[in-house]
Structure 1
Amino acid sequence: MSHSGRPADNSTPAASPAAGDAVSDARRALARTFKQAGIADYTFEARILIEDLAGSGEWLDATAANRLRDALSRRLAGEPLWRVLGAREFWGLSFSLSPGTLEPRPDSESLIEATLHHLGQRRQEAMNFLDLGTGTGCLLIASLSEFPQARGIGVDLSEDALATAAGNAISNGVSERAEFRLARWDEGLTGRFDLILSNPPYIASDDIARLDSGVREYDPLLALDGGPDGLDAYRALAALLPARLAAGGRAVLEIGAGQEDQVRALMTAAGLRYLQSHRDLGGHSRALVFAGVM
Structure 2
Amino acid sequence: MAEPAPRAAGVRAALGEAAARFGFSETPRLDAELLMAHALGIERAALLLDMDRAVPEGFWTLVARRERHEPVAYITGSRGFWTLDLGVGPGALVPRADSETLVEAAVTHFRGRAPATLLDLGTGPGTLLLALLDEWRGARGVGVDRSAEALGYAVANAGACGVGGRAGFVLGDWDAALTGVFDCIVTNPPYIGTNERLPDEVRLHEPAGALFAGPDGLDDYRRLAPAIRRLLAPGGAAFLEIGHRQGDAVTALLAAQGFAVTLHRDLAGRARVLAAT
TM-score w.r.t. structure 1 length? 0.85
- In the alignment, does 2:160 pair up with 1:171? yes
- In the alignment, does 2:18 pair up with 1:29? no
Partner of 1:230: 217
1:34-72 per-position Cα deviation (integer Å, ceiling 9, x unaligned)? 3145245332222222222214695448xx412x13211
Report if aligned partners of 1:15, 1:30 keep a CA contact under 8 Å in 2: no
Partner of 2:84: 93
Counterpart-to-counterpart distance in 1, 2:233 and 2:194 = 33
Report if aligned partners of 1:194, 1:249 keep a CA contact under 8 Å in 2: yes
The correspondence of residues 51-200 of structure 1 with structure 2, limited to 5 A, is 51-55=37-41, 58-60=52-54, 64-66=56-58, 68-123=59-114, 127-200=116-189
Counterpart-to-counterpart distance in 2, 1:59 and 1:259 = 48
Output the amino acid matched with 1:286: R
Cα distance, 1:187 vs. partner? Answer: 1.5
Report if aligned partners of 1:13, 1:33 keep a CA contact under 8 Å in 2: no
Output the amino acid matched with 1:144: L
Counterpart-to-counterpart distance in 1, 2:250 and 2:89 = 29
Q: 1:37 to 1:87 in 2, by over 3 A?
A: closer
Counterpart-to-counterpart distance in 2, 1:240 and 1:92 = 29
Report if aligned partners of 1:14, 1:33 keep a CA contact under 8 Å in 2: no
The correspondence of residues 211-290 of structure 1 with structure 2, limited to 5 A, is 211-274=198-261, 276-290=262-276
Output the amino acid matched with 2:272: R
Counterpart-to-counterpart distance in 2, 1:43 and 1:71 = 14
Counterpart-to-counterpart distance in 2, 1:133 and 1:220 = 13
Counterpart-to-counterpart distance in 2, 1:30 and 1:288 = 40
Of the structure 1 ranges 109-118 and 39-48, higher mean CA displacement relative to structure 2 is found in 39-48
Cα distance, 1:263 vs. partner? Answer: 0.3
Report if aligned partners of 1:27, 1:47 keep a CA contact under 8 Å in 2: no
Q: 1:232 to 1:247 in 2, by over 3 A?
A: same
Report if aligned partners of 1:131, 1:155 keep a CA contact under 8 Å in 2: yes
Counterpart-to-counterpart distance in 2, 1:130 and 1:215 = 26
Output the amino acid matched with 1:54: L
Counterpart-to-counterpart distance in 1, 2:4 and 2:265 = 41
Output the amino acid matched with 2:82: W
Report if aligned partners of 2:119, 2:141 keep a CA contact under 8 Å in 1: yes
Q: Mind listing any 5+ residue stretches in structure 1 that lack a counterpart?
A: 1-11
Q: Mind listing any 5+ residue stretches in structure 2 that lack a counterpart?
A: 43-49
Counterpart-to-counterpart distance in 2, 1:37 and 1:230 = 30
CA-atom RMSD in angstroms: 2.0
Output the amino acid matched with 1:163: G
- In the alignment, does 2:34 pair up with 1:44? no
Report if aligned partners of 2:18, 2:32 keep a CA contact under 8 Å in 1: no
Report if aligned partners of 1:204, 1:226 keep a CA contact under 8 Å in 2: yes
Cα distance, 1:162 vs. partner? Answer: 0.4
Output the amino acid matched with 2:57: A
Report if aligned partners of 2:191, 2:218 keep a CA contact under 8 Å in 1: yes
Counterpart-to-counterpart distance in 1, 2:227 and 2:29 = 46
Counterpart-to-counterpart distance in 2, 1:285 and 1:98 = 28
Cα distance, 1:281 vs. partner? Answer: 2.0
Report if aligned partners of 2:21, 2:67 keep a CA contact under 8 Å in 1: no
- State how many pairs are aligned: 266
Cα distance, 1:161 vs. partner? Answer: 0.4
Partner of 2:45: none
